[in-house]
A and B are shown apart, each in its own frame.
Chain A
Amino acid sequence: MEQHEPGSLSAPQLEAVRRSAAGGRMALSRRSLLRLGGSGLLAAAGASALSSCGIPPAGRQPGRSSSADHSDEEKWFAFSNWTEYIDVSDDNKHRPSLEEFRRRTGIKVRYTEDINDNVEFFGKIKPQLAAGQDTGRDLICVTDWLAGRMIRLGWMQELDQSRLPHAFANLGKGFRDPDWDPGRAHSYTWTGIPAVVAYNRKATKGRTVDSISQLLEDPGLKGRVGMLSEMRDTVGLTLLDMGKDPATFTAADYDAAVSRLQKGVDTRQIRRFTGNDYIDDLNKGDLAACIAWAGDLIQLQADNPDIRFSIPKAGYMTATDNLLIPNEARHKKNAERFIDYVYEPKVAAQIAAYINYVCPVDGVREELAKIDKSLADNPLILPDAEMTEKSHSFRLLSSKEETEFEQKFAKLIGS
């Protein structure tokens, strides 16, 4: 302020200038009254604008769930999937199973790899689904808990089983009746995803790591243990290790498992909770041992012979990724035809041979053996009886439990 005052003024003049500047701001004038009234109005308008912004309850709006089906006049449908989740030809230019589908049916698949993360994908499509609008996708592939949530919210369409003869007949026994979608009314499984213990033999100096207890307590692994930021896999395996069944556990069991993990965080045993980026860390040996998804391991082992996995004696978790048709999808019939197509054992084998995750299709073993015998014998792709025995899945959570458990888990992982 001072520096702008001209130096030629006398002291009383300066004083007057200051007073008038202060008075101009403070004095009650017509202008300041108007301004006061204006800001009052603005505040009132702001308050009403704020209160009109609520988010309506999610839920099925009857009669709006299935829009007109344009499958017959538009010979295509849009399929959103995860990256590296369907077979690709050796020159990286073709997707053989999609092209074969087009040859056979004349239906083109608009295939997009735009799912990287369940929660992010949910954030992306939620506004349209909540508003009862078309997401522009006719078929999506998401993990079971998110599929369950969206079915619960009434955002997914019921499938017409009469158009799914192969899928109905060939769906493996263990996948038939999940608690989040009884009788598979809305979904069919794309893959099963076992979460097991993996380790880098070079980083553990040749030692075997085969249980969650060892991950959490072995001093030789301190600071080099990775857990998954996928709550159901990490907590599920911990529950199994504590002798609890993830299909029936109580809230107290959950708390006990989380506090056991918290101890691992506090003692600096656990280095990080990761998404897919654990692959790189394990490969380099920055993580000596971690919880890992089986399909990744098969691909990683091909490059790095030091990567090993073990199935914990207490059992392991299997999640599933599932195909669903969102409300308002314009090409439901085409999408259903595709679901049925991927349940033909030959096609299923072709996809499984590339992506190396558990294939839920009965009768795939012979077809897979024709492509590569070692894949058909790999228990991580086609679990044998002993493996199936140890497989567990996380129970369906109510909306309230989901919020509460995710909150506790978020706190565990630091955010």
Chain B
Amino acid sequence: MKTAEAPPPASAAAPPPPAPGGATGRRNLTPYWLLLPGILWLLVFFAAPMVYQASTSVQTGSLEEGFRVTWHFATYWDALTEYYPQFLRSVLYAGTATLLCLLVGYPLAYAIAFRAGRWRNLLLVLVIAPFFTSFLIRTLAWKTILADGGPVVEVLNALHVIDVTTWIGLTEGHRLLATPLAVICGLTYNFLPFMILPLYASLERIDPRLHEAAGDLYAKPFTTFRKVTFPLSMPGVVAGTLLAFIPASGDYINAELLGSTDQKMVGNVIQSQFLRVLDYPTAAALSFILMAAILAIVGVYIRKSGTEEIV
């Protein structure tokens, strides 16, 4: 059985498998052989690009003269001091969008898991359905939905909602497009399914008899939710917030299409430094800073939420 598991092309170089009787002293190498494809994949598609990127971030030069590694670590500091507003904005917008995703997604996941009955599969398909069109098209569609003369803006203006958001600083004048609110809405919409699916998966696993038991013990519905359902769904909450927050903080399409110059996020800066200005070191340094920042935020978050076992 063990010989059959070893990958055939590598088997020639493989050491002879341990005797089936369970010989002592020899380590069983089969698990490592099984890991090999995964490790190679990681090396080629993760480690090698990371090394290349790390190298790029400490190079100096230009397209004409070429780029050489000069250990110019100042690039990091320069990038951070120059573009910290975009960094803060990325975290703020992605954080707000994640929170909105949670507020919108939780009731929906809850309803699908406990109340949908035979509609459950259909509703799940509907949640995923937007993925059948391209990310770009979906974001462009929001430009039509939120258009200045469109029904959404007219209704919100009639209700004076936009006056309030303008007062807070989320919108400008009597429009939605090219404002922070539009970017946050776009992010929320685009990453909502990433929130709903893990939430649904963890809610669905909860035994309904626990709810009945809570009722039997005189817990009101809200208490049941607070003491039973929500704590049991925490792994889904954490997974969902991470899946929404991490891609949202690196996103640049929403800021590009729905925002103005003051809503650019760090993804836009990286794109523009890499493609437009051709300053590859700064772009690479910015990517690393973003990665470090996200790792730090996620680390603290996981600590605080106390669900180490899911990651």
Contacts and interface: CB of A to CB of B under 8 A. Distances in A.
A280 B141 CA distance: 11
A399 interface: yes
B144 to A, nearest CB: 8
Given A50-B58, A272-B178, A286-B143, 13 more contacts: A52-B55, A53-B69, A57-B61, A58-B63, A265-B261, A277-B257, A284-B148, A285-B149, A286-B148, A409-B276, A410-B277, A414-B260, A414-B263
Interface stretch (B1-9, B213-221, B265-273): B265-273
A50 B73 CA distance: 13
Contacts of A59: 64
Contacts of B64: 57-59, 152-153, 399
B275 A46 contact: no
A49 B51 CA distance: 7
B192 interface: no
B269 A57 contact: no
B66 interface: yes
A114 B184 CA distance: 31
Contacts of A28: none
A406 B55 contact: no
A223 interface: yes
29 contacts: A50-B69, A51-B55, A52-B69, A54-B61, A54-B68, A55-B61, A56-B66, A58-B64, A153-B63, A223-B175, A224-B148, A270-B261, A272-B260, A277-B140, A280-B140, A281-B143, A284-B144, A284-B147, A284-B148, A285-B148, A286-B143, A286-B147, A286-B149, A286-B175, A413-B261, A414-B86, A414-B268, A415-B272, A415-B273
A413 B175 CA distance: 20
A406 B264 CA distance: 17
Contacts of B263: 414
B98 interface: no
Given A49-B51, A285-B149, A415 B271 contact: yes
Nearest to B143: A280
Nearest to B59: A54
Given A50-B58, A223-B175, A55 B67 contact: yes
Interface size class of A (residues with CB under 8 A): 35 or more
B172 A268 contact: yes
A415 B264 contact: yes
Contact of B55 (A49, A284, A409, A412): A49
B280 A55 contact: yes
Nearest to B265: A415
Nearest to A399: B64
A33 interface: no
A271 B260 contact: yes
B51 to A, nearest CB: 5
B272 A410 contact: yes
A403 interface: yes
Contacts of A304: none
Interface in B28-69: 51-52, 54-56, 58-59, 61-69
A277 B61 CA distance: 34
B285 to A, nearest CB: 13
Given A280-B143, A414-B263, A223 B69 contact: no
B69 A119 contact: no
A284 B58 contact: no
Interface in A380-415: 399-400, 403, 406-407, 409-410, 412-415
Contacts of B272: 410, 413, 415
Contact of B277 (A122, A153, A406): A406
Contact of B66 (A46, A58, A152, A410): A58
A200 to B, nearest CB: 11
A122 B280 CA distance: 14
A53 B59 CA distance: 9
B231 interface: no
B274 interface: yes
A415 B86 contact: yes
Given A277-B257, A280-B143, A399 B63 contact: yes
A152 B140 CA distance: 37
A273 interface: yes
Given A50-B69, A399-B64, A415 B268 contact: yes
A120 interface: yes
Interface string A222-240: 1110000000000000000
A123 interface: yes
A46 B65 CA distance: 25
A369 B143 CA distance: 39
B278 interface: yes
A212 B54 CA distance: 44
Interface string A267-298: 01011110001001100111000000000000
B139 to A, nearest CB: 11
A136 to B, nearest CB: 21
A140 to B, nearest CB: 17
Nearest to A222: B173
Contacts of B56: 53, 55
Interface string A45-74: 010011111111111000000000000000
Nearest to B260: A272
Interface string A339-362: 000000000000000000000000
Contacts of A122: 275
Interface string B57-89: 011011111111101000000000000001000
Nearest to B66: A57
B262 interface: yes
Nearest to A154: B64
Interface in B143-200: 143-144, 147-149, 172-173, 175, 177-178
B204 interface: no
A399 B62 contact: yes
B279 interface: yes
Contacts of A51: 55, 69, 71
Contact of B149 (A268, A271, A284): A284
Interface string B245-271: 000000000000100111110001101
B279 A54 contact: no
Contacts of A415: 86, 264, 268-269, 271-273
A169 B78 CA distance: 53
